[in-house]
A and B are shown apart, each in its own frame.
Chain A
């Protein structure tokens, strides 16, 4: 398994992986979407997960914070074994509290932003820290405002999501994830629902986060971003990891035939 490539990240990388997955399977009825995935992410790594649609990359990401329940396999988050119990043909959650706690440690950013539409931007940011993490309102408010300042939305704190552009909504959603002080961030196609002219502002925020040495897993179709920002690329095809490595190696070509085909098809499109 490749370790983190950038020096800054390598320093932080502990021996315990941030996320460890063994033999992950996911079935919907007769269809098997994930066919046995083994995967390690170390602290400080920025990993882009690439693949054609239907390759299982989103499902894989969603399994990591158990929005999808794996059908089989083992999952470790920051050294903690997730309590998944076998019942018949499927796994189910053994300890809800553990899952709820771990979910605040690996925060998720969605394709459709999914901000809560009845709350202002600031209320969106403060919701989980206050009600899930039970932190103090004053401290959370300061933290939330700091995050809004960071993503350039402090002047929109009192606005409702419907009053924001897509790019602004996604930046707010990223800030919402950050206020929980997660140890890792999961991005599920964060720019796919955006108008092309709004993609840049979101990618910039993500670039800054990556530069801070945050642990990030990103499902994306932004190839330039994946190549320039990630420390590692994971390429999924038909529910399996088909290629994995440093972006420079993979994007140069000739390392993995399937990946090269994927990239060339992508460039044609």
Chain B
């Protein structure tokens, strides 16, 4: 096993190095896009949950309950099968017969985004609730409009309070990308599986995938920690 290992993992024509590196790129891209989409859902969800009308609050509540309570893999199926059902119906009624489906990357980003958004909703909501009302009032008293207050006072402070929770949610999103192997996205796990299948070395390739996940998680985690401690500076005495 060791003699061929370098060849197997190299970047030569026989090596799996390049495909694995590309797959790691896909993993990072899917996690990042999903997480960013999740931020939009999260801010929207938090806005709903903090809104005055009861109906809006209920919608926000339903969103977080469903997408935090249902297994992520089911959500992936929902977008995978649901997306193709809707797309095919649309195309067929539009006069294009046949079967259509969304690219697996798009499905993956949507699925991760909606699940991540449900968790981010809670992060943003509880961060907002920690804001000091007096500071918002001080802004109002200085003649700030609602929008200016949001931009200059509310948003920066909410983000800072939410950051530790967002860091955990990012790590989850990163790991969730592995589920996209099930719908055919060639991310790290699927690429490792392909390599494992054709070389009969599952232990090696899954271990490598694990190591890559650890490295990505560690590196981004360290970056987030630094950002967090930088942004927390004003609150230290």
Contact = CB atoms under 8 A, between A and B. Distances in A.
* A–B contact, 8 Å CB criterion (strictly below): yes
Interface string A73-114: 000000000000000000000001001111110011010101
Interface in A133-166: 133, 160-163
Contacts of A102: 143
Interface size grouping (class) on chain B? 20 to 34
A115 interface: yes
Contacts, number: 76
A153 B233 CA distance: 20
Contact of B141 (A65, A115, A116, A127): A65
Contact of B142 (A96, A118, A163, A180): A180
A103 B138 contact: no
B135 A117 contact: yes
A162 B145 contact: no
B137 A110 contact: yes
B137 A118 contact: no
B178 to A, nearest CB: 36
A264 B234 CA distance: 44
A131 B137 CA distance: 16
A223 interface: no
Contacts of B236: 162-163
Given A67-B141, A107-B142, A162-B234, A131 B134 contact: no
A118 B156 contact: yes
Nearest to B140: A67
A104 B143 contact: yes
B135 A100 contact: no
Most buried by B among A96, A104, A127: A127
A112 B134 contact: yes
A118 B234 contact: yes
A67 B133 CA distance: 12
A116 B134 contact: no
A205 interface: no
Interface residues of A, number: 32
Contacts of B57: none
B106 interface: no
A107 B132 contact: no
B144 interface: yes
A128 B143 contact: yes
B235 A115 contact: no
* Chain B interface mostly: helix
A101 B233 CA distance: 33
A173 B138 CA distance: 10
Contact of A114 (B134, B156, B157, B235): B134
Contacts of B138: 108, 110, 114-116, 173
A78 B155 CA distance: 34
A179 B191 CA distance: 61
A160 B134 contact: no
Interface in A162-205: 162-163, 173, 176, 180
A8 B236 CA distance: 45
B237 interface: yes
Contact of A131 (B140, B141, B152, B233): B152
B141 A103 contact: yes
B143 A103 contact: yes
Contact of B135 (A99, A101, A114): A114
B160 to A, nearest CB: 6
Interface string B155-168: 01100100000000
B127 interface: no
A117 B157 contact: yes
Interface centre among A102, A118, A160 (most CB of B within 10 A): A118
B145 A96 contact: yes
Given A114-B134, A114-B137, A118-B160, A128 B234 contact: no
B235 A162 contact: yes
A157 to B, nearest CB: 14
A158 B17 CA distance: 50
14 contacts: A67-B141, A100-B144, A100-B145, A103-B142, A104-B142, A117-B157, A118-B234, A128-B143, A132-B142, A161-B234, A162-B235, A163-B237, A173-B138, A180-B142
Interface of B: 132, 134-135, 137-145, 148, 152-153, 156-157, 160, 233-237
Interface of A: 65, 67, 96, 99-104, 107-108, 110, 112, 114-120, 127-128, 131-133, 160-163, 173, 176, 180
